Structure 1
Amino acid sequence: MLLEELQLHNFRNYADTKVQFSPGVNIFIGANAQGKTNLMEAIYVLALTKSHRTANDRELIHWKQKRATVAGRVKKRLGSVPLEVQFSGRGKRVQLNHLFQSRLSTYVGSLNVVLFAPEDLAIVKGAPVVRRQFMDTEFSQMSSQYLYQLSRYNQVLKQRNQYLKQLKYHQQTDQVLLGVLSDELAAAGGQLIALRATLLHQLEHWAADLHHHISTEKEDLTFKYASQVEVSEDQTASDYERQLRERYHQNKDHEIELGTTLSGPHRDDVHFFVNGANVQSFGSQGQQRTTALSVKLAEIDLMKSQTGEYPLLLLDDVLSELDDERQTHLLTAIQDKVQTFLTTTSLSGVARQLIHQPTIFRITDGHVQKEETQ
């Protein structure tokens, strides 16, 4: 999978821009606040229809403009496919192969990306919500079924929480509807947990090998899916559904008292262990960074195994956060393997030595200039 071309209209600080990329390493170089990360964000938006930097789509539209467009052409095994995401005051619309899609779920997965930014180190040491967002974002690209169940679960969860609040404040008294919503939430939650557990197990396989190599065979990385239900390889989606239904029944009075749902995949977490010790709590900063790097690189191979094609790799100012050894492992792992986009204020040291024939783009105040090869 390759992104051959990107076109921006009124996106962030880009008025009208068209860029053609190479299949290898594409480097965006420029001073801070010139638009390097905006360009990277546009690729992410083209893939997932949303930004990794803001939840407010209005911020993506160029100042004083009413709409913005991100478009691109993706080369896949069966040919090139045009993609487009439009933002306006009315919301967003997406086009796949020049056809508007009524559901985002039919669009997401057309272009797969793995983003690695400095804040992604929080995958290991951040709050549980960070790891849930990580799972949901990455697994949704790999599995349309995951995206469907996640959307279904979040919709019913919102309805159930609203009804719990109404029961709390005596705006409603009928608990029959609560039972119906609980059953629907348990069904969607059971499917979601089963999919998460399966994909996490596969991600662990790839990450463990990478971590073992990066740590010069001194460390073993393992995952644990932490849930309020019992998660194991011999459990099925129906088993998780039954356990969730039981928890909703047991906690009904307490949930009404609090006005919120206390159990389900929206409360789950992932724990990482290095040589049997929880790296979030007891790992050194080096172990935490190696774990984060291993997990992000493992996504590339997992996506390839799930979709049949490698994703794009987006490295947003991440080299500055890694020492020379980890930079070496990162750049060696991706060399001649995946199309890569990298932002930096300068290219020096390990990166200059290891990156073979990069295509360099100079970014200045929302303008992109490709450097001529020597």
Structure 2
Amino acid sequence: MILKQLHLHNFRNYDDLTVDFAPGVNVLIGENAQGKTNLLEAVYALALTRSHRTSNDRELINWQAHEAVLSGSVEKRTDTVPLELHFSAKGKKAKVNHLEQSRLSQYVGQLNVIVFAPEDLSLVKAGPAVRRHFMDLEFGQMSNKYLYNSGQYKTALRQRNEYLKQLRSRRQSDRVFLQVLSDQVAALGAEIIVARAAFLKQLEKWAQVIHGDISLQKEQLRFQYATQVTLDDDLKVEDVYQALLELLTKNEDREIDHGSTLYGPHRDDLIFLVNDKNVQTYGSQGQQRTTALSVKLAEIDLMKEQTGEYPVLLLDDVLSELDDDRQTHLLTAIQNKVQTFLTTTSLSGIARQLINAPTIFRIAHGTLEKETEETNETKTDEQVDSSSETE
């Protein structure tokens, strides 16, 4: 999967920009606050219909405009798909092959992306909500069914929580309706739990190999899916549904007292074990970063396994947060494998670690300029001359 072309109109600090990208490594270089991350955000938003930096879509629209438009051309194994996304005060509109989609869940998955930013290194040591968001985000790209169930579950959960609050305040007394809501939450929750368990098993397989390579086979990484129902090897949705419904039914009084649903996938967690020790609690910073890097790189292979296409990789200034060994492993792993967009303030060390020369774009004040071979040769000559003068 390759993003061949991207067009931005009134998106963040870009008034109007059309750019063609290379299938390999695309380096976006420039000083801070010039628009590097905004460009990555545009690729992410084109894929997932929302930003990874803000939940307020209005922030994506240029302050002088009323609408922002993203469009792009995605090359897949069998065809090339045009995508288009509109942001406005009225909401979002998404088009695939110039046809508007009735639901955003039908649009997501046309372009798969993985973003790796400095804050993603906190995947291991942050709270459970971060890891639940990670699972929903990544697995939703791989499965429209998971994405749909996740959205439906959040709606059912919100309705049940509102009704629990009404029961607590005595504004309602009908527990029959609560049982109806419990059934909906249990049915959708079971689908999510079973899907997560299956995806995590496959993700663990890929992450173990990568983690072993980075640690020189001194460490073994394992995943533990922490959920409130017992998960057997022969996992069935019906069994999980019955177990979850029983928990909700048994604990109605307790949940009414709290005014919220205390059982379900919205309370689950993902625990990382390195040599059978919880790396969140007992791991060194190096082990935590190796785990986060292993998980992110494993996503690439898992998406290929699940969708038949490699995703697009977005690296937002993450190299500055990794030591030389982890940088080398990251850049080696992506070469000739996935289309990559990498933001940085300096090219130092990057080109030396890549087999094929990257395509370089210089960004300043919301404008973008692609470096040509002539430009590179001129800069190299200038560096040589400068070096000679220094000597």
TM-score by length of 1: 0.99
Paired with 1:183 and 1:276, the residues of 2 have a C-alpha distance of 37
Structure 1 residue aligned with 2:221: 221
Structure 2 residue aligned with 1:352: 351
Q: What amino acid sits opposite 2:126 in the alignment?
A: G
Structure 2 residue aligned with 1:5: 5
Paired with 2:3 and 2:149, the residues of 1 have a C-alpha distance of 28
Distance apart, 1:352 and its partner CA: 2.2
Paired with 1:99 and 1:371, the residues of 2 have a C-alpha distance of 35
Paired with 1:239 and 1:65, the residues of 2 have a C-alpha distance of 52
Structure 1 residue aligned with 2:67: 67
Larger Cα Rg: Structure 1 or Structure 2?
Answer: 2
Paired with 1:79 and 1:115, the residues of 2 have a C-alpha distance of 24
Distance apart, 1:173 and its partner CA: 1.2
Structure 2 residue aligned with 1:247: 247
Paired with 1:57 and 1:97, the residues of 2 have a C-alpha distance of 23
Structure 2 residue aligned with 1:192: 192
Structure 2 residue aligned with 1:336: 336
C-alpha offsets along residues 139-162 of structure 1, whole Å, 9 cap, x if unaligned? Answer: 000011111111111110011111
Paired with 1:82 and 1:167, the residues of 2 have a C-alpha distance of 49
Structure 1 residue aligned with 2:181: 181
- 1:270 matched to 2:270? The reply is yes
Paired with 2:81 and 2:162, the residues of 1 have a C-alpha distance of 41
Distance apart, 1:171 and its partner CA: 1.5
Structure 2 residue aligned with 1:157: 157
Distance apart, 1:97 and its partner CA: 0.6
Paired with 1:198 and 1:271, the residues of 2 have a C-alpha distance of 15
- 1:122 matched to 2:134? The reply is no
Paired with 1:326 and 1:59, the residues of 2 have a C-alpha distance of 34
Paired with 1:373 and 1:27, the residues of 2 have a C-alpha distance of 15
Q: What amino acid sits opposite 1:370 in the alignment?
A: K
Aligned CA RMSD, in angstroms, stands at: 0.7
SS in structure 2 of the partner of residue 115 of structure 1? strand
C-alpha offsets along residues 54-79 of structure 1, whole Å, 9 cap, x if unaligned? Answer: 00000000012100011100001111
SS in structure 1 of the partner of residue 52 of structure 2? coil
**Structure 1: 5+ residue runs without aligned partners?**
none
1:233-312 mapped onto 2 (5 Å cutoff): 233-312=233-312
Paired with 1:373 and 1:256, the residues of 2 have a C-alpha distance of 68
Q: What amino acid sits opposite 2:352 in the alignment?
A: Q
C-alpha offsets along residues 216-258 of structure 1, whole Å, 9 cap, x if unaligned? Answer: 0100000000011112322211111111101101110111111
Answer whether contact 2:36 2:343 (CA < 8 A) is retained: yes
Aligned residues: 373
Q: What amino acid sits opposite 1:4 in the alignment?
A: K
SS in structure 2 of the partner of residue 170 of structure 1? coil
Query: Percent same amino acid among aligned pairs?
Result: 62
Q: What amino acid sits opposite 1:291 in the alignment?
A: T
C-alpha offsets along residues 162-208 of structure 1, whole Å, 9 cap, x if unaligned? Answer: 11111111121111110000001100000110000000000000000
SS in structure 2 of the partner of residue 54 of structure 1? coil
Q: What amino acid sits opposite 1:353 in the alignment?
A: R
- 1:108 matched to 2:122? The reply is no
TM-score by length of 2: 0.94
SS in structure 1 of the partner of residue 124 of structure 2? helix
Q: What amino acid sits opposite 2:83 in the alignment?
A: L
Answer whether contact 2:351 2:357 (CA < 8 A) is retained: no
Structure 2 residue aligned with 1:36: 36
Structure 2 residue aligned with 1:369: 369
Structure 1 residue aligned with 2:169: 169
**Structure 2: 5+ residue runs without aligned partners?**
375-391
